[in-house]
Chains A and B, each alone.
Chain A
Amino acid sequence: MSSRSEFDHRSGCLIYSPRRTGCRQADSARQYSPDMGLEIVDVTQTYGQRVALDSLCAVVPPGVLTGLVGPNGAGKTTLLRVVLGVLSPDAGSILTDGRPVTAQDRRHWGYMPQERGLYAGMPVGEQVIYFGRLHGLSHAVAEQRAHALLEELDLDDRWADRTDKLSGGMQQRLQMATALVHDPDVVILDEPFNGLDPVAVANLSDILRQRAKSGCVVLFSSHQLDLVQDLCEVITMIDHGRTVLEGNVAQLRASSGLRQLRLHIVGASSTWAEQLHGVSVVSEEADEIRLAIAPGVDPLAVLDSARLAGQVTDFGLDLPTLSQLFLAAAGGSGHDEGALA
């Protein structure tokens, strides 16, 4: 694995850069792509003696959903606040189109905080218009967009209702509407799926995916790694204020050293597998054998070897979960899988 990040234009993601100690030098050598979205470069943020972000680097590409994942206290909210410009980092910068993000850029961004930030007594429609106007829209345009957005979010019939009369799920959708009303270039959401049922998660993620497809940069944080695994194309995994893993989720899982090939093979012992380079036997029970496949080793080549050794009646490639990848990347220190699920 390279110690610096490499951008893969075909997959639209940044490939893996575990435990980097700084990316400024790497970035200076990097050929920046104009459609790269946001780039977080060497960001450090301290609160007194406590280091919340430690030379953190990441790339948030446009067109896909990017998940910022990590356990509670990893620094996700602090990073989002730095990206939003609410906090000025002690060091580092946030780039867009290869240049530092300005306050003017951020006015076209949308933000949804971890807990609902809505005026309880304000009518639904008025609330969306108000946030649209704060983002610089005229009243007429804000009203028009509010109607369209609330219709899309199935809330148009609640236009005149007080916000505190809505259910939790509806308020979450309304919060989303206030973040999207000005048609932002970048949408940042802090734990948007917290406390939502699976149907609400599917609805919200559909809306976000649509925005991403239209070229928007969508970054959201979550500590629910397995949920993110199903929703996101790209992740940035952080722990103790540092990036421990980032890139395309499918590629990260597929190229991981934690892949296991499960084979049901008749009439052969495991000796054939032990002779293969980059393959180790995890378990062997009756006719089923589990093999760990090292990064760079083609599972199909291993399958071919198995078929030469005996009759393969069943097989499957088990990819690691994000939780497993996180534990491997973070060194397992102080984390258990349950806390990350």
Chain B
Amino acid sequence: MNSWFQGARLVMGRALKENVKSRSFRIVTLIMLVISIAAVVLPQIISGGTTTYTLATVGPAPTQIQAALDAAGASGGFSVEYRSEANAELVRGMVRNGDATAGLVADTIFTTSDTPGSFPALLSQAVVTLETVQKLQLAGLSAAQVAELQAIRPPEQVVVGKTESAGRSIIGVVVGIVLYLALTFAGNAIATAVATEKSTRISEVLIAILRPSQILVGTVVAVGLVTLSQLLVLVTPLAVAIGVTDMIDLPQVAASDLALAVMWFGLGFALYAFVFAAAAALVDKITEVSSAVLPVTFVLLAGYLVAITVVWSDPSSVASVIASIFPFSAPMAMPIRWASGEVPIYQLLLAVTLTAATALALVALASAIYGRALLITGRRVKIREVVRS
């Protein structure tokens, strides 16, 4: 081989081709695409269309009430139809049969248990306002004074959450879940690729031509690119929907959170992929892969659980800060914490640096384990054998 890179590139090219041509790649990518499009389109379909309420009254509804309800409808995304009936019994019957959302007869509002709570409240508020205005005018207040009284607004209600933005922090949790799933998926794909090459003795031929690090990096990068492309298929429609259009009601910053999530996937992948590969090199038969990678999966799972419990419930706690900086949990914990908007930039940089440095150290360790373990066949290799030798 002319250079280290050329050898690794050839290994990567072959593994990439094999992965992309595989049926599982096509199926998983298709599922990702469907999930992503569904995540963008479904909420629109579910919430799509304007809600129409029907108000039945004896005779035409008073114009002031119509005006008040129509104004509320314009800002609240609903419209109101008005039905004029001959008497109170007919109004009551319409509401009972579901032909009207509510009925207004003198100072009584008819509703059913199915009537949406907001419409009767709006209706009674409109009735009370109308009567109050009439009484104020009767009491001798001028139109300007009445308008002034009507302009009084209750104090603004702000829901105080544990994070800066509840919507954005949900993005963080989703990112954490997706990263955990992507790392588990990619890690197992790498482990299977390594164990297949070992069990078919291909690795024995490769190792006579290439250095272990070339085979390892080539395989890992190929599976990483495949998983990343699937992740992008999942993320891109969402990011476009959030960043470019107003289709999804999430803060603009969520798009940059998603971009950061892709970077964290890269780091988390670099950290875990080589460990998965080294663990898989210890097996003799392909059926032993899942038990061989179990300790790695366990560490990954522990990092994920800490991220979605400790970090999600209180992103500012000491435990959360540690979990978001500790390399093995940072790829899942930091995106969640970051989305809470409570992370100083130096902590993000520290977490990135530590994770990258640990990943580099693990590449060297995993290459050594991989190179030695590949040559021991006929039995499961103990980690102590290859680390000691």
Contacts and interface: CB of A to CB of B under 8 A. Distances in A.
Interface of A: 47-48, 81, 84-87, 106-107, 109, 111-122, 130-131, 133-136, 178
Interface of B: 1-2, 7, 10, 14, 18, 200-210, 375, 385, 389
B209 A135 contact: yes
B215 to A, nearest CB: 10
Given A134-B1, A134-B10, A81 B375 contact: yes
B274 to A, nearest CB: 20
A174 to B, nearest CB: 12
22 contacts: A47-B389, A48-B385, A86-B207, A111-B205, A111-B208, A112-B205, A114-B201, A116-B200, A117-B200, A117-B202, A117-B203, A117-B205, A117-B206, A118-B200, A119-B18, A122-B14, A133-B10, A134-B1, A134-B209, A134-B210, A135-B1, A136-B1
B208 A130 contact: no
B375 A86 contact: yes
A107 B10 contact: no
Main SS class of interface, A? loop
A130 B206 CA distance: 11
Interface centre among B1, B18, B205, by most chain A C-beta atoms within 10 angstroms, is B205
Contacts of A135: 1, 209
B375 A117 contact: no
B200 to A, nearest CB: 6
A86 B212 CA distance: 10
B201 A121 contact: no
Contacts of B2: 136
Contacts of A117: 200-206
Contacts of A116: 200-201
B208 A84 contact: yes
B1 A113 contact: no
B202 A107 contact: no
Nearest to A190: B204
Top-3 shortest CB links A-B: A117-B205, A117-B201, A117-B202
A112 to B, nearest CB: 8
Given A87-B375, A118-B202, A122-B14, 7 more contacts: A84-B208, A86-B207, A86-B375, A117-B206, A121-B18, A134-B7, A136-B2
Nearest to A46: B389
B201 A134 contact: no
Nearest to A87: B375
Contacts of B10: 130, 133-134
Contacts of B14: 119, 122, 130
Contacts of A121: 18
